[in-house]
Amino acid sequence: MNILHIAPSVRIGGVGSLLAGLLPRLDRERFRCEVLAEADPAGPGANRRALEAAGIPVRPIPPRVGGLRENLRAVDAALLAGSYDAVHLHLEEWSALYAFLARRRGVPARIVHAHLAGVRLPFRFTARRLARPAALALLRGFMRREATHRAACSDDAGRWLFGDAPFTMLPNAVDTARFGFSADARRRTRAALGLGEAFTVGCAARFDQQKNLPFLLALFAELRRREPDALLLLAGDGEEGPALRAEAGRLGIAGAVRFLGAREDVPALLQAMDAFALPTRYEGFGIALLEAQAAGLPCFAPDGAVPREAAVTGLLRLLPPGLSAAGWAGEILAAKGLPRRCRAEEVEAAGCGAETAARRLEALYERCRAERGRGL
């Protein structure tokens, strides 16, 4: 069965990390995968290298923003040139458009996969001219017609993108062997980063509006008032990077915030942290929270913005919506000194290990084969 995945990117985090963790684990005799993803300006990263090392081609396509026409032409050309039994779409509302292209090119199975529970509508003119519920209804109707199968990482994500249409649950997953806690790795990484004995809060995320990182800086400023030697590690990059650095300066915490850039050693960085905070505005599930829990970190995120399915261990505290920066700081400091141990087995037991997720994905593809039939 030939399957084409179309993704926004294969960078570290999010969909890219999910694909790099799952696709190499599929049965190659039954499922042959390829990936189309928007080119990363920073060049090929660890996820792309992992996919290609497993024999899974990753082909760059132009970005949608500022180049939608070229992007669609590239995807259409790939669909025309290939002989695909299924397309697996990871583009949220945009997926309806790509499912239409795939149907036009005769691809029998078209899977739309919801990864988020709230994003900007793809067509700005639609968002301006229609009320949001009406625009979503329009997109959902289009999706119903073009998608043959629907999947979601959580109930929140599925309901947001598909409304009351049925979907298959495919919870996010991580390679727990990479993220499980190691006291030796913690000592080495803290020494390399020069953290000493400082209480260290961390976050690994894109620097964009969704992740709400200005609030993270605000709560860390509150935390520093009570824990003057505390440090904050921020692994990631994005359009908000300059503004975040300026905000750290304005709050008087620039010397205590380490902007680490986009990193490929996130498993090691998690070992070095004492708490993980993600004050995101919305998530479909939150792969970063799974990784941090596997590493045995106390985790903090907003209730309602993160689905409760993400709490696969007792380490994730979902804090009340609207809780102040000072309130967050107090909750995080309450976790100081908690004993640390590996929680990888708990993540596996919750069905969020990569091998388990790969088997679920294979079952979905087998269902596509059976339902669309005729020798796929």
pLDDT confidence bin for 375, thresholds 50/70/90:
very low
The fold for domain 2-173+353-372 equals Rossmann fold (3.40.50)
Domain chopping of the chain, boundaries: 2-173+353-372, 176-349
Task: Please name which of 285, 283, 281, 263 lies closest in space to residue 273, comparing C-alpha atoms.
Answer: 263
Residue 164 has a CB neighbour count (10 Å cut-off) of: 6
Residue percentage of the chain with pLDDT more than 90: 81
Task: Please name which of 307, 111, 281, 316 lies closest in space to residue 206, comparing C-alpha atoms.
Answer: 281
What average pLDDT score do residues 15-24 get?
A: 94
What average pLDDT score do residues 48-56 get?
A: 95
pLDDT tens by residue, 336-350: 999 999 999 999 999
- Residue ranges of the alpha helices (H) in the chain? 14-22, 46-53, 68-81, 95-104, 124-129, 132-146, 155-162, 176-179, 183-193, 213-226, 241-250, 266-272, 287-294, 325-333, 344-349, 354-372
Q: Do the two domains 2-173+353-372 and 176-349 of this chain adopt the same fold?
A: yes
Would you say domain 176-349 falls under CATH 3.40.50.2000?
yes
- At residue 376, does pLDDT exceed 70? no
pLDDT confidence bin for 67, thresholds 50/70/90:
confident
Q: Are 228 and 197 in contact (CB under 8 A)?
A: no
Q: Are 18 and 173 in contact (CB under 8 A)?
A: yes
138 contact partners, CB below 8 Å, separation of at least 6: 126, 130
pLDDT tens by residue, 116-135: 887 544 444 444 444 456 66
pLDDT for res 132 = 58
